[in-house]
Amino acid sequence: MASSASRGMVYGAFHLQAAFRNASGYPLGTDTTPDTVTAPQTTHSYLIGGLVSFTAPTPTRDIATNIGGQKLIGSAVLGVTDFGTPAFTLSEYNEVLNAYIKGTTADITTNTEWTMSAANSSQTEFDRFVILVTGKFLDSVSLSEYHLTWVFHNAQVVEATPPGTSQSGGVNPNPVGYTMNLTSSARNGLTGRVFSGSAGMFVVDGTDTWTLVRSRWPIAITTFTADGVEVGYTLGYRPVYDDATGAATNSLTLNGVTDAVTSVSTTTGAVVYTPAGTTADIYVAAYQTRFVAI
């Protein structure tokens, strides 16, 4: 059924995903060198467990105020001077995420029975990510439940509250907190499409920092970089829908443009397309899933 704008209650903190972002704005999953890809390559957004809470960014806007003759005459809202700082809290310490955001490696080779994670205190370069945060939405008109995904298209992630410990019990006694530094993006990090000021969401200047997406099920991302030989790739999880149009329940793009494929399998996760295309073509699948392994 085609979607329409609605209203409803927002609740719950369910899923957090991260994908490295390349210089063109595409999500490159867990590829830590997203600008040097060896085709063919299939990579998926990294599903991070233990999401406790998420705080959306609150932008700061300048206000011009006209005061004369000892009285307020009027005021006008100007542009944004700060995008705000979104934050999320995890119930657990994630060694993979720590390595991703700090540009390090979880060392399991120096001592093969240990895992060593660096603070990387001299870090000056921070990778950029596409971040997905998923909550829920109860439609006030139909009383139907949906998932709501916050998509941050160009974010750097910083550990704000490092892991600590105490003798306290209870629920999540030692959570770990993170903040995001946002930059605008000309490309939608979820779908691979470019933003437009004259179509789609009609965003000013064709750039944006984040987008809110309502869908029946959570959304995950798979990105395939073609070699001009392969005619398909496999999603990271089983998709709920077999929509192959690229513009309904699943979003499918080729080099940022909606691309209908031959088929999408809900059992194997296989996406088949023809023809093979050109080396370095980028296919992005943003598909609804229950995160069932293939």
Give pLDDT tens digits for 222-266.
Answer: 999 999 999 999 999 999 999 999 999 999 999 999 999 999 999
Residue 136 lies in a domain: yes
Pairing verdict, β 176-182 and 129-139: unpaired
E strand or H helix at 56, and its extent? none
Mean pLDDT of the chain: 97
Contact yes or no for 208/197 (Cβ under 8 A): no
Residue 291 lies in a domain: no
Residue 257 lies in a domain: no
Q: Which residues pair with 234 in a beta bridge?
A: 270
| Containing structural domain, residue 32 | 8-59+82-109+116-217
Residue 193 lies in a domain: yes
Residue 124 lies in a domain: yes
Residue 252 lies in a domain: no
Residue 168 lies in a domain: yes
Residue 46 lies in a domain: yes
What pLDDT sits at residue 1?
Answer: 72
Token pair of 227 as six digits: 């070699």
> How many domains in the chain?
1
| pLDDT digits 0-9 by tens, 64-104 | 999 999 999 999 999 999 999 999 999 999 999 999 999 99
